[in-house]
A and B are shown apart, each in its own frame.
Chain A
Amino acid sequence: MPYLLHHLLLESAAAHPDKEAIVDKDRRSSYAQFAAAARTCAATLKEHGLVRRDRVAIWLEKTFEKAASIFGISMADGVIVPINALLKPTQVGHIVSDCEVRYLITTRARWESLREAIDHLGSVQKVLLVDEGAEDPRVVSSFYARESQADSPSVCMGEDLAAILYTSGSTGRPKGVMLSHRNLLAGSRIVSTYLEISRDERILSILPFSFDYGLNQLITTVQQAATLVLLSFRFGDEIVKMIVKEKVTGLAGLPTIWAVLTQGAPSFNKTQLETLRYITNSGGAVPSETVKKIRDAQPHLQVFLMYGLTEAFRSTFLPPHELDRRPTSIGKAIPETEIFLIDAQGERCKPGEQGILIHRGPTVSMGYWNRPEDTAHALRRNPLIGEHEGADTVCYSGDLVKMDEEGFLYFIGRNDAMIKSSGFRISPTEVEEVLMATRRLAQAAVIGVPDPVVGERVHAVVVAASGTEADKAALLEFCARELPTHMLPRDVEFVNELPRSPNGKVDYKKLKSERSG
């Protein structure tokens, strides 16, 4: 039985060596080639001194090499730290320093852009480049061009840390959610069960592997020896074209992707996507109107609405046949999992009452890297089972939901300042820090205001520093250098002062409610 991430790849490569595994533009790789590349990556890491639990970051566009690196790091007994290719050097630097990355897999251009931000850290021992690199004793060039090596046995076990995925909370810098091999394997087992994924599946991958949703697509594909088609797109029509060209059967997306397809892709309405069997949504609610447009255009599609959070991967899904009856529900617990609601007094909620969603099951993560207090807040003992009778660890989502009489769940909102935009979790603090670094402001508060396309729009309310001109363009220009597009404020509003709560803190609730009309 496979119990480590790379076991899935080795099993599929042994059983189906010639099956198409990854389609990356014109490059088509079989499972045998995919496993060989992962071995090359593992051997290179080991040759350069990787020891069990060393963190290996991957900062690459989504390519075959990125997929191979994920499995190669597992083979070498390292910990995978996939970093979103859209992040700017400052944010990448935060991740590298936060979990003390020892090895970095990237390209020459990315490494050069990053050097200044990480040179002083000293934790990075080697930089493995997928292309030719400059003269630097730390750099290993074109490492995938080497011959692949024989497997060397792994010393890890299922409980070992396999990956760290960075995500934001309501305050501070992004935190690393720690996932064990067992977590990752449970996630792919559960998803292939309820989406009924088989070897014939051809899954389109448009989500980043740094995101649990996108990473799970890769792992589930490999577990089933199915095919993953990689795509980066700017136009919705490119998605439609790729579905037709590659006979794609499954597509996972975020609310923004459905907006792009239904509003900005004329071919989506005109092309019968016969091979496409299902679509899944996570990362925020899709407006019912958009769901209707999708189903009008492609009536045969099974539409799965899902809910999850990185700390517990995935919690619920709505079976497609329930969509007409409960279009706004996030469904019920995924297989092997229990979901219940707890009210402010710590009591289990009755149907109709609002409470915090608690997740119990095999995808509950190992907590946040090096943040024991945050971990203790998110992961707690099961409040419904006594400690003496084997209470397990459950995940407190922080999301407010309610349950109907039949056990279907409905998302209400969050009770903190975290912003959810385009599927990304954004901490107001991180954007505020960048705004303040312009030295043009006395105060800044960043909130999320409702938006039909992105869920919540990043909105900055600021007070200009005395003697400084209120220059919105200059602020945004600075922000665009320091922040990826999804974190950029869509609007900057100048005010004379920020509202305060009685204890003197900025009143985010008031700021938000005044702008949510």
Chain B
Amino acid sequence: MSEDEIRTKIRAFVTMRFPAVRNDKLTDDDSLLDSGAIDSLGVLDLATFITEELGVELGDDDLTPENFDNISALTRFLTGRT
């Protein structure tokens, strides 16, 4: 999957699952975690989406605020792994 495809898929999932992201008009670089748009259960859902829909196995060190903070970070972290 190309970087653009990954970004599009992540953005689609995030805006569908977490409607607050759309309201706050969050850009790809705005923090999903600090804004409160995604809580601990949201992180879990996002991880499930990455594994099941994008087919990326998450390693022990992948579940970090750095990787999950915003759409750009998620895209960077997943590019090359799908």
Using a CB–CB cutoff of 8 Å, the interface residues on chain A facing chain B are: 86, 233-237, 256-257, 259-260, 263-267, 270, 422, 453-454, 473, 476-477, 479-481, 485, 488
The residues of A that contact B18 with a CB separation of less than 8 Å are 480, 485
Contact A234 B38 (CB under 8 A): yes
Residue among A237, A270, A454, A485 having the largest count of chain B Cβ atoms under 10 Å:
A485
Contact B19 A477 (CB under 8 A): yes
Contact A234 B23, CB 8 Å, known A263-B44, A266-B60, A270-B60: no
The residues of B that contact A454 with a CB separation of less than 8 Å are 41
B43 CB, nearest partner CB in chain A, Å: 6
Given A266-B61, A477-B23: 10 more A-B contacts, CB < 8 Å: A234-B38, A234-B43, A234-B65, A235-B65, A264-B43, A264-B44, A266-B60, A422-B41, A480-B23, A485-B39
- Chain B, residues 19-35, CB within 8 Å of chain A (1/0): the string is 11011000000000100
Interface members, chain B 5-23 (any A CB < 8 Å):
16, 18-20, 22-23
Contact B40 A256 (CB under 8 A): yes
A-B contact pairs, 27 of them (CB 8 A): A233-B40, A234-B33, A234-B38, A235-B64, A236-B40, A236-B63, A256-B41, A259-B41, A259-B44, A260-B43, A263-B44, A263-B47, A264-B40, A264-B47, A265-B63, A266-B60, A270-B60, A454-B41, A476-B19, A477-B19, A477-B23, A480-B18, A480-B23, A481-B20, A485-B18, A485-B20, A485-B42
The residue on B at minimum CB distance from A269 is B60
Question: Is B36 an interface residue when CB atoms closer than 8 A count as contact?
Answer: yes
The residues of B that contact A265 with a CB separation of less than 8 Å are 63
The residues of A that contact B40 with a CB separation of less than 8 Å are 233-236, 256-257, 260, 264
Inter-chain residue pair count (beta carbon < 8 A):
67
Cα A44 to Cα B65 in complex, Å, equals 39
User: What's the tally of chain B residues with a CB closer than 8 Å to chain A?
Assistant: 23
Chain B contact residues: helix, strand, loop or mixed: helix
B82 CB, nearest partner CB in chain A, Å: 20
The residues of B that contact A480 with a CB separation of less than 8 Å are 18-20, 22-23
A85 CB, nearest partner CB in chain B, Å: 9
Cα A265 to Cα B43 in complex, Å, equals 11
The residues of B that contact A266 with a CB separation of less than 8 Å are 59-61, 63
Residue in contact with A481 in the complex, picked from B23, B44, B63, CB distance below 8 Å = B23
Closest 8 CB pairs of A and B: A480-B19, A266-B60, A476-B19, A480-B20, A264-B44, A477-B19, A260-B40, A234-B33
Contact A479 B41 (CB under 8 A): no
Cα A476 to Cα B14 in complex, Å, equals 13
The residue on B at minimum CB distance from A237 is B63
Cα A345 to Cα B28 in complex, Å, equals 60
Cα A270 to Cα B59 in complex, Å, equals 13
Cα A270 to Cα B63 in complex, Å, equals 14
B81 CB, nearest partner CB in chain A, Å: 17
Cα A401 to Cα B80 in complex, Å, equals 52
Cα A476 to Cα B22 in complex, Å, equals 10
A471 CB, nearest partner CB in chain B, Å: 12
The residues of A that contact B59 with a CB separation of less than 8 Å are 266
The residues of A that contact B23 with a CB separation of less than 8 Å are 477, 480-481
B56 CB, nearest partner CB in chain A, Å: 15
Cα A454 to Cα B16 in complex, Å, equals 19
Residue in contact with A453 in the complex, picked from B39, B41, B47, CB distance below 8 Å = B41
Contact A260 B41 (CB under 8 A): yes
Contact B19 A479 (CB under 8 A): yes
The residue on A at minimum CB distance from B58 is A266
Cα A93 to Cα B3 in complex, Å, equals 44
A493 CB, nearest partner CB in chain B, Å: 15
- Chain B, residues 39-58, CB within 8 Å of chain A (1/0): the string is 11111100100000000000
The residues of A that contact B65 with a CB separation of less than 8 Å are 234-235
A80 CB, nearest partner CB in chain B, Å: 24
Cα A257 to Cα B44 in complex, Å, equals 11
The residues of A that contact B39 with a CB separation of less than 8 Å are 234, 485
A166 CB, nearest partner CB in chain B, Å: 20
The residues of A that contact B47 with a CB separation of less than 8 Å are 263-264
The residue on A at minimum CB distance from B64 is A235
B55 CB, nearest partner CB in chain A, Å: 18
The residues of A that contact B36 with a CB separation of less than 8 Å are 86, 485
B10 CB, nearest partner CB in chain A, Å: 17
The residue on A at minimum CB distance from B15 is A473
The residues of A that contact B22 with a CB separation of less than 8 Å are 473, 477, 480
Cα A480 to Cα B16 in complex, Å, equals 11
B69 CB, nearest partner CB in chain A, Å: 10
The residue on A at minimum CB distance from B20 is A480
Cα A235 to Cα B65 in complex, Å, equals 8
B78 CB, nearest partner CB in chain A, Å: 17
B57 CB, nearest partner CB in chain A, Å: 12
